[in-house]
Amino acid sequence: MNGGSASVQAHLMRRARWGNAEIAFWILLVLLIFALPSRALLINEILIAGLFAMSLDLILGYAGILSLGHAAFFGTGAYGAAILASRGVSDPLVGLVLASLMAGLLGLATAPLVLRGADLTRLMVTLGICLMLGELANRNAWVTGGADGLNLEFTPILHLFPIGFTGQRNAALYSLTVLFAAFALARRIVQSPFGLSLRALRENRLRAGALGISAPRRLIAIYAIAATFAGAAGALVAQTTQVVSLDVFDFHRSADVLLMLIIGGTGFLYGGIIGAALFIAIKDSLSTVTPEYWEFWIGLLLIALVLAGRERIGAGIARLLSRRGHRGAT
Amino acid sequence: MLTILLDGIAYGMLLFVLACGLSVTLGLMNFVNLAHGAFAMAGGYVTAILMNRWGVPFLATLPAAFVAPALVGIALERTLYRRLYGASPLDQVLFTIGLVFMAMPVANYFLGDQPQQVHLPPFLQGRLEWAGVGIGIYRLFIILVCGAIAAALQTFLVGTRFGAQLRAAVDDARVASGLGIDVDRLFAITFAIGCGLAGLGGALAADVVGGIDPTFPVKFMVSFLIVVTVGGSRGIIGALLGALLLGILDVAGKYYVPSIGAFIIYAVMVAALLARPQGLFAGRGGR
């Protein structure tokens, strides 16, 4: 018994070690921001979308919950940060933390609703909650600015680094720091025994239950955590673009983030970031060629991806990455 | 008061025709088809183009608005959709979102992003007043046409051999094919009829929603999904009641409490899903 738990622990420790490929990945991101100052705006967008997609990966890839309304938390974070700023809390770090917590609380409150029913019901409930929030933001113009949105002013981070149009590189570095912190936390979570138990639930809830793993509490916990990260992504968007409007609750947001995650592959955290980079790069290059019709090609890619077997491609990428990581570690 | 009720009924009837195809694919065949609105858009465009470019009278365009999307539907079903019948909901969602993403730029490319208006013939314009209750003639027309369609569908499903076979195939596709029913063909025809009805609904709705434009599939996707989920997965009656409930609530809500707008129907949907995950009007053992 004792030896068994020790070997489990050793296994978890081994998996938790950062591989060289992973370290190189993050260093590359930092270098990229300094190497391409003119594209800082785009890189910032990718980093934030990466954080958003990673939060969806926590519930879709690790817990197996299908959501079409993940933008609910993104939007709550964005409006949370914006409303705090318009009410005089102009320090971005305080705003970020508070806005993320708001989104997390919303996740905690809605999780029991989402976890009822089968996949289809879940799709509808998540979508419905997101639409309701969007409509609420639309109708309560006295606090959200309604269809006009809000323009924001922030003090520089730590009173040293201004973000926004004059400090786009600072903004990208700020997003990268938040993304890295959230990623490290998420990585710790999915490699903890709690993370393993989530995977067990995803694979076979009946058997996991027989092993004494209770589903509802764990799923609610991971849903709230993912909501917090999505809220952080929303807050980052509001703070670095200094504007927030109703489109943060748009169905497009939820659909796009799902696409990013699918393109990058589910269930290994980096998928969200890689997918976000690919998606935004594709979108950016397509929309310079065909500004109105880029969606067509994204749709085509998506259909091809599904028909070719999404899991096969994703598993291939994951295998490639983990093999490299292991080789680096030994 | 009664006027609002009648308007709500007309809107609900319209929603029913738009969504009943979806209630078959989603509710009966268990296929999450988010691209349903694209077929409705196609029907609306067929009517608008036939009327505006070739001067075909409104009523004469309606059959075309049914047939064209049905043909597109059957082509897509045979080539693409049928591969995904057994796939996970996630794959179906991704695939159909992909279709929507493709349909919107295609419509934009060929027809522009301005809404295409459908101009009603004179005999469908104007209002009727009767005992203090006023209703637009076109609204009345919609109620009659859609009511007829609902009745026809119900008798078709319950009373004909095809309907019986369909119900059997839905209950258990393997046993049904074991009994010699060509399930593949059955599903293809059903899918095509659903797409056709969506197209017809799109054509009828064009005037009410202020013209058809390329964002139609996304704008109304949510309404369709609400109808189907609230109405439940079993049969035409559930979808009809769901659509009527939604139509009346939406129209009445926008009239009496405009400050909260569409919030009501979303709240009703979430509440309904939580109280009855199988749908409000689901009879015995839904899914």
Q: Which CATH number goes with the domain that contains A222?
A: 1.10.3470
Contact at CB, B91 and A135, closer than 8 angstroms: no
Q: Are B229 and B218 in contact (CB under 8 A)?
A: no
The answer, yes or no, to whether residue A314 has pLDDT greater than 70, is no
- Angle at which helix B216-231 crosses helix B89-111, to 10 degrees, equals 140
Best residue in A127, A140, A306 for a mutation probing chain B (most B CBs within 10 Å): A306
CB B34 within 8 A of CB B100: yes
Tokens (6 digits) for B173:
């596709």
Please report, for residues A195, A252, B212, B252, the alpha-carbon distance to residue B261 in angstroms, rounded to integers and kept in the order given: 41, 21, 22, 10
Task: Decide if B259 and A139 are in contact by the 8 Å CB cutoff.
Answer: yes
Please report whether residue A5 resides in a domain.
Answer: no
Residue entry with tokens 């067929």: B46
In chain B, where the domains are located = 2-113+128-216
Sequence-distant (≥ 6) Cβ neighbours of residue A255 within 8 angstroms: A68, B97
| pLDDT tens for each residue of B234-253 | 667 777 888 888 888 888 87
| Residue A174 C-beta-side C-alpha neighbours within 13 Å | 27
CB contact under 8 A, B273 and A136: no
Answer for the pair B184, B263: CB distance below 8 angstroms, yes or no. no
CA–CA gap between residue B30 and residue B86 (Å, rounded): 9
The pLDDT value recorded for residue A285 is: 85
Adjacent-strand bridge partners of B135: B128
DSSP category for residue B33: -
- Tell whether A6 is covered by a domain: no
Residue B140 C-alpha, separation from nearest chain A C-alpha, in angstroms: 31
Are β-strands B133-136 and B127-130 bridged in parallel, bridged antiparallel, or unpaired? Answer: antiparallel
% of residues, chain B, pLDDT over 70:
90
- Provide the phi-psi class of B211: left if phi over 0, else alpha when psi is between -120 and 50, else beta: left
At B235, the amino acid letter reads G
B52 or A324, higher pLDDT = B52
Report pTM. Answer: 0.82
Task: Report the candidate in B165, B161, B226, B153 with the shortest Cα–Cα distance to residue B193.
Answer: B153
Residue, of B210 and A165, whose pLDDT is higher? B210
Instruction: Give B225's contacts in chain A (Cβ within 8 Å).
Output: 124, 127
Task: Fill in the amino acid letter for A326.
Answer: H
In tens, the pLDDT along A72-126 reads 999 999 999 888 888 877 788 888 899 999 999 999 988 888 877 677 778 888 8
Kindly indicate whether the ipTM for this predicted assembly is greater than 0.95, answering yes or no: no
Give me chain B's average pLDDT, please.
79
Of A68, A139, A298, the CB nearest to B263: A139
Q: Is A135 in contact with B94 (Cβ distance < 8 A)?
A: no
CB-based contact (8 Å) between B270 and chain A?
yes
Structural tokens at position A212: 């004494």
Q: List helix spans (H) across chain B.
A: 2-22, 36-54, 58-79, 89-111, 137-159, 161-171, 173-178, 183-208, 216-231, 235-256, 263-275
Count of structural domains, chain A: 1
Cβ(A58)–Cβ(A186) under 8 Å?
A: yes
CB-based contact (8 Å) between B261 and chain A?
Answer: yes
Separation of alpha carbons A327 and B240, rounded Å? 61
Q: Which of A206, A215, A236 is nearest to A52 (CA)?
A: A236
Q: What domain range includes position A271?
A: 20-329
pLDDT surpasses 60 at A257: yes
